[in-house]
Amino acid sequence: MVAPEPLITFEGYRPFEERRSEGKALREKSPREMHANWSRPSNFPGAVEIVMEGNKGRQEKYVPLRLARMAASPFAFYRGAAAVMSADLAPTDVTGVMAVIDGDAHINNFGLYGTPQRDIIFDLNDFDEAVIGPWEWDLKRLVASVNLAARENGLNVRERAAAVHRTVRGYRENLNRLQKLGVLETWYLHAYPGRDNPLAKVDPKSRAVWSKATAKAERQTNETFLNKVAEKVSGHWRFREEPPILTRVDSTIRDSVEKALIEYADTLNLERRFMLSRYRIADVAHRVVGVGSVGTRAYLAMLFGNADSDPLFLQVKEAIVPALAPYIERRGHVLISHEGERIVTGQRALQASTDVMLGWTQIDGRPFFVRQMKNMKGSIPIEWLSGDAFYFYVWACGAILARAHARTTDAALLSGYCGNSGVLDDALATFAEAYGDQTVLDHAALVHAVKNDRAVQQMMGI
């Protein structure tokens, strides 16, 4: 996480109409049409080369799985290639307006989860790449993912452009609403699936999809997860191995994780430390997650509180340097020294309601962050979506991203810049199509390297 100085001045905001006018004036220096412009420079190091560089420091035995998952499709490649897009975005023109950004806001990083009040809400749900940076980078990461997901769902060029238009419209329309709200009111906002939306009418097909996903999320609890991943052996609960996804760890690693969890407790509020102290650790395993995260160290701790019917699963996940870090540093900012704290800070800044168990720690000098593994979490599989349901989903992602940005930057300024017309929508649809084309080529290059590049094959154990 990067922090401009000074962060707090208590100078207060001027009327939103005045700030909106300033945003509109930004168009003179940074025309909205400029966001359509993108091409990869001739001295670009190469997408496959960046991916391979990103394998350094990861657990070597999981690198083949990472590359195999990325090679599955262009969209899968895109999900694991945040570093590639970071290098592509770095030289692009920006307005200069900064916000806490997710850094990896593709459509699969939005999802469902339970609040401390046990309500299901829809929000961003992955913050490994969070930094303070140009707001445009998040929106471009989102629209390119919409284009690629639309390709996987069989949408043609015109339909892909329409999907990106809906995404950007969701972003603009929500900014237009948020600019008039109080600061605290913005921070209180939650998106509850199934409830009427103040900005858009939910079509019957979309409502059915969201209802199905919400019902499934409500069933994803620590109790149901217990029976999926663990078993009782000689009176003791142990993880059930499912290699390579879930594997037992030796006593040395287990001791290190348990020590890390003790240190992690110091990053929680005091009342939550009291709560955590009522649990005991039953077992620890290594669990592979995601696409881009494969190969990083990720452990799963199983704890019990009041009885066998009271489990808690904590994910202890390695926090690596964010893909955007080299390009943020060039803008004169300083990174928070602990990458786990950066991720936690980013999540707390961007999410409407965060996990009460969120904190950070370290293992053998490596930074980690800690969160609940199962907290009524769920997602809406993109393959479920077609027609109006797909368009509504991407609109919702755009609207949620606007609200996330509005929590740490000026919604009126951004709204004034984005405007009420489709100029920005058109520009980003052009960008997304071009970047989608490039990602298809990058994916093909990775597949070719896996099949023909001896160095890559050796890395994969082929």
Residue 332: predicted pLDDT: 39
- Return the SS3 of 359: strand
- Residue 2: what pLDDT? 45
Within 13 A of 419's CA, how many CA atoms are on the CB side?
Answer: 14
Strand partners, 429: none
Q: How confident is the model at residue 4 (pLDDT cuts 50, 70, 90)?
A: very low
Query: In this predicted model, what pLDDT tens digit does every residue of 129-144 receive, in sequence order?
Result: 999 999 999 999 999 9
Average pLDDT of span 431-455:
92
Going by pLDDT thresholds of 50, 70 and 90, the confidence category of residue 396 is very high
The 10 Å Cβ neighbour count of residue 240 is 13
Q: Spell out the alpha helix ranges (H) of 220-333.
A: 222-229, 251-264, 270-276, 325-329
Instruction: Specify the pLDDT at position 329.
Output: 64
Positive/negative CA dihedral, 162, 163, 164, 167: positive
pLDDT of residue 365: 95
Delimit the domains of the chain by residue range: 16-217+380-460, 222-323+328-372
Q: Model-level pTM?
A: 0.94
Contact 63, 459 (CB under 8 A): yes
Which has more confidence, 456 or 263?
A: 263
pLDDT score of 334 more than 50 = no
The chain-wide mean pLDDT, for the chain, equals: 92
460 confidence band (pLDDT: 50, 70, 90): low
- What pLDDT was estimated at residue 194? 72
Mean pLDDT along residues 393-417: 97
Say yes or no to pLDDT of 145 above 80.
yes
Instruction: Say if residues 133 and 171 touch (Cβ distance below 8 Å).
Output: no
Alpha carbons 207 and 134: distance in angstroms, whole number: 33
Hunting for tokens 């949408």 — which residue is that? 155
Give the model confidence (pLDDT) of 82-132 as tens digits.
999 999 999 999 999 999 999 999 999 999 999 988 899 999 999 999 999
The yes-or-no verdict on residue 330 having pLDDT over 50 is: no
